[in-house]
Chain A
Amino acid sequence: MNRSRWMLAGVALVAALALGGGARAAVAPLYDWLTFERDLSRSFQGPEQKLAFEDTLKRLIARAEGAGRKPPPGVLAEYGFLLYERGETHGAVRFFQREAQEWPESAALMDRLIELASEVGAP
């Protein structure tokens, strides 16, 4: 009886330690990223892999809009840059402007990208 009580106390202490450590370790991520990391790394490999990345970006933007939040930093601009690479400069400029609106820190870079997209022709 006595022994089982001590075992119980031991388990409780270990659990408390684990939770205490966990509370420090488990910082909730600020943003929902889906498969952003994986698809971004593959997007460098070729035009076909870019499509998967584009799809993920679209889903990230749609999810953020649905939840009334902003998409993670750079997502709108990355999508705009994919459009620019494809020659859809009007769409690209729209997304660069949205990025600058959502994230004021990006304003200077977005101006540069808008300027780039406004030049004649794709890269």
Chain B
Amino acid sequence: MSGMLRGAAILALPLFLAACFSAPRRAPFDYGPYVASDPRSVVVAPVAGGTPEQRDLLLSLIIRPLADRGYYVMPVRATQALAERHGFTAHARETTLWYDMNNDHGGSVVVDKPEDAEQIRKDAAELAAFFGADAVLFAQIVDWGHEARLGQAFKNMIDPAMTHAVGLDYILVDARGETLWRAQKHIVYRRGGGSLAAEIWNASMKADDADIDAGLAREANWWMITGERLRTPKLWYYSAAPMLVGPYHPAYAADRARRTAAGR
């Protein structure tokens, strides 16, 4: 009997710890306007922030999870070319630095300003009308890069300790200018450094630094849209507020019925 209790305790421990260490629960996201607007098609607005290469890569990454989520996604090369031709440009919002002392995690974040909200509302209406889309997804790159950690660069000659960071900000706005959904994700990944042996070992199978950044962007993008992790699925790690499933998704009817009944 005591063996049974011990077994149960051992099994329960990881569950308990996972519950303790998961992120604090935020207030539930209000999906009311999203459910009411019920968009079928999405066009991705020109991406703001980052370098041209990063913007192109992010555009390519957004399409697939969006389509697999059940939406019609406007063809991205055609829409970007048309947008450029007709003078639609990205509106980059101001960012500010933040730092969380509790987990030594920091980066950039978009500052919310009323004039930006007004601009996005206007852009959304124009882009949706131009492309005949129900909703417009605005993406801004707030962080995307890597740097050697200060004070470590000299110590680690072969594989310097490096911090990679990617931060993205998405807003989904419908044709009337109503904000349906908003997501932000910031991923920081530290690697390298350590003992000489570890450095040699790590350097021997190290990916290109830019590829690591791209991998983080892919992960952040997937996580924001689907609410699931791409590479390393963990049992207790889901986004609190992913995009709702769209009309081409098999779970769409059930999801809508449930949300309409629940009033959100």
Contact = CB atoms under 8 A, between A and B. Distances in A.
Interface of A: 2-3, 6, 9-10, 13-14, 17-18, 21-22, 24-27, 29-31, 33, 36-38, 40-41, 43-45, 72-75, 77-78, 81-82, 99, 103, 105-109, 112-113, 116, 123
Given A73-B72, A74-B76, A81-B77, A109 B132 contact: yes
Interface in B25-70: 40-41, 43, 53, 56-57, 59-61, 63-64, 67-68, 70
B191 interface: no
Contact of B7 (A9, A26, A73): A9
A105 B41 contact: yes
B68 A106 contact: no
Contacts of A26: 233
A103 B174 CA distance: 19
B132 A108 contact: yes
A78 B74 CA distance: 9
A16 B33 CA distance: 37
Contact of A13 (B4, B11, B78): B11
A73 B228 contact: no
Contact of B75 (A17, A24, A27, A81): A81
A105 B134 CA distance: 9
B156 interface: no
B81 to A, nearest CB: 7
Nearest to A38: B60
Given A81-B78, A106-B41, A74 B64 contact: no
B18 to A, nearest CB: 11
A3 B10 CA distance: 14
Interface string B59-99: 11101100110111111111101100000000000000000
Interface string B194-219: 00000000000000000000000000
A14 B11 CA distance: 8
Contacts of B79: 109
Given A17-B235, A73-B72, A41 B57 contact: yes
The residue in A26, A41, A105 that gathers the most chain B C-beta atoms within 10 A of its C-beta is A105
Interface string B97-139: 0000000000000000000000000000000001111100000
24 contacts: A13-B11, A17-B235, A22-B233, A25-B228, A25-B229, A25-B233, A30-B250, A37-B64, A41-B57, A41-B59, A41-B60, A72-B67, A74-B63, A74-B74, A74-B76, A78-B78, A105-B132, A106-B72, A107-B132, A112-B130, A112-B131, A112-B132, A113-B78, A123-B81
A29 B68 contact: yes
For the complex of A and B, list the 6 residue pairs with the smallest distance between their C-beta atoms, beginning with the closest: A108-B132, A74-B75, A41-B60, A105-B41, A21-B235, A77-B75
The residue in B68, B71, B75, B228 that gathers the most chain A C-beta atoms within 10 A of its C-beta is B75
A73 B56 contact: no
Given A2-B3, A72-B67, A73-B67, A41 B77 contact: no
Given A37-B63, A78-B75, A30 B248 contact: yes
Contact of A73 (B73, B229, B235): B73
B249 interface: yes
Nearest to B61: A37
A37 B60 contact: yes
Given A25-B233, A77-B78, A81-B78, A105 B67 contact: no
A3 to B, nearest CB: 7
